[in-house]
Structure formats: structure tokens, C-alpha cells
């Protein structure tokens, strides 16, 4: 009886991990949005291209945009918000993995910078302090709206973040890791 119970527990654990067990940092071969992220992804303009947003911001006024970016600077802002300077990175549909298991996979973005932008974010408490805080070299997926007529000091657009997802350093990879990781 005890052996049967152990077998049932093992099967249930395996089933649960197969159903979206990518966890907070998305350890899966393809992107798995968090439950609260899904609604933002559905609302975001999936066709928005960074270069077009930068050149023709008026075309995107009032729309929710989504960009992945690697943090280059974090500065306290006004009213408890934080100004996060980022470099756009293109998300790779197929994540890099160290072996055939999902837990070895990491969210993967291009190694090449796509251009600057700034996000004004109200950080969650877990992203403010500690080793896994939001800091230089963190990866962030920002969902937000353009601040009309405002550009950062590098000429990039400024977004007011409505939602963000954060990967600390070491919890994502760039395409440069392809030599050490398999697909």
C-alpha cells in the first residue's frame, strides 16, 4: 500500500511540473508567461517594432507596448518610482538549454543591443534589495505606455511601466551562450 501511495505521489508531482512548471524565471524551452503577465501580453501591441516606436512615437500613443531589455542603470525617481535604463533585446522563441530537461533551460535574448529605452517602474519589494534585486545586467520585460514627448539621455523612448517581469543576472542567457548550451 505504501509503495502504491508513493507511486501516486510521484505521478502527481511529474504531472504538476509538466503543467507550466517553468517557475518564476521561466525554465522552459519556450516562453511561459506568469499568470498575471498573460493578460498584459494579450493587451500589448505585438506588432510594435522598437525602431518605429522611436521614430514615430505618435503612432503608438495610448497603446501598451512590450519590450525585453537588459538593465544598464537604475536611478531613484520621483514618487517612489525608479528610472530603469535598458537596452532592447530580441527574445528568442526557442530558449537555450544545458541538457534535455526543462529545468536546464533559460529565457534567451539576443546578445546584440537593439537600442536604448527607459522604463519608469514602481519596483516590487523583492526587486529592491538583496542579491536578486533589479540591477545592472538584470533582464526585464516591460509592459507600458510611452511618455509623450519624453526621451532618455540616449535618445530612447520613455515608458511608464504598467507591469514588468524581472530576471536577475544568471537567470537568463543571451545568444552568446549558444556555444556552451544546446538547443
Mean pLDDT across the stretch 113-127? Answer: 97
DSSP SS3 for 175: helix
Alpha carbon of residue 9 to chain centroid: 33
Q: What angle do CA 138, 142, 144 make, to 5 degrees?
A: 150
143-150: average pLDDT:
95
pLDDT of residue 78: 86
Residue 138: all three cell numbers together? 538584470
Q: Report the alpha-carbon distance of residue 85 to residue 19 in Å, rounded.
A: 35
Q: Kindly report the pTM of this predicted structure.
A: 0.86
Element (H, E) at 50: helix 50-55
Q: CB–CB of 118/152 below 8 Å?
A: yes
In contact, 89 and 138? CB cutoff 8 Å: no
In tens, the pLDDT along 14-55 reads 333 334 568 889 999 999 999 999 999 999 998 999 999 999
Domains (ranges, CATH) in the chain?
A: 22-179 (2.40.50.140)
Amino acid at each position: 500500500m505504501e509503495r502504491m501511495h508513493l507511486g501516486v505521489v510521484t505521478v502527481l508531482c511529474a504531472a504538476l511540473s509538466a503543467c507550466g512548471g517553468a517557475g518564476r524565471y521561466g525554465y522552459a524551452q519556450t516562453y511561459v508567461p506568469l499568470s498575471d503577465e498573460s493578460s498584459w501580453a494579450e493587451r500589448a501591441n505585438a506588432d510594435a517594432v522598437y525602431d518605429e516606436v522611436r521614430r514615430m512615437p505618435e503612432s503608438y500613443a495610448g497603446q501598451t507596448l512590450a519590450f525585453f531589455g537588459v538593465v544598464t542603470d537604475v536611478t531613484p525617481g520621483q514618487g517612489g518610482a525608479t528610472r530603469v535604463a535598458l537596452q532592447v533585446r530580441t527574445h528568442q522563441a526557442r530558449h537555450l538549454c544545458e541538457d534535455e530537461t526543462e529545468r536546464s533551460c533559460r529565457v534567451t535574448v539576443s546578445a546584440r543591443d537593439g537600442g536604448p529605452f527607459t522604463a519608469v517602474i514602481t519596483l516590487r519589494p523583492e526587486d529592491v534589495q538583496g542579491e536578486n534585486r533589479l540591477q545592472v545586467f538584470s533582464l526585464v520585460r516591460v509592459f507600458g505606455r510611452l511618455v509623450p514627448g519624453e526621451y532618455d539621455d540616449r535618445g530612447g523612448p520613455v515608458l511608464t511601466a504598467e507591469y514588468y517581469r524581472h530576471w536577475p543576472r544568471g537567470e537568463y542567457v543571451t545568444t552568446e551562450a549558444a556555444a556552451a548550451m544546446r538547443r
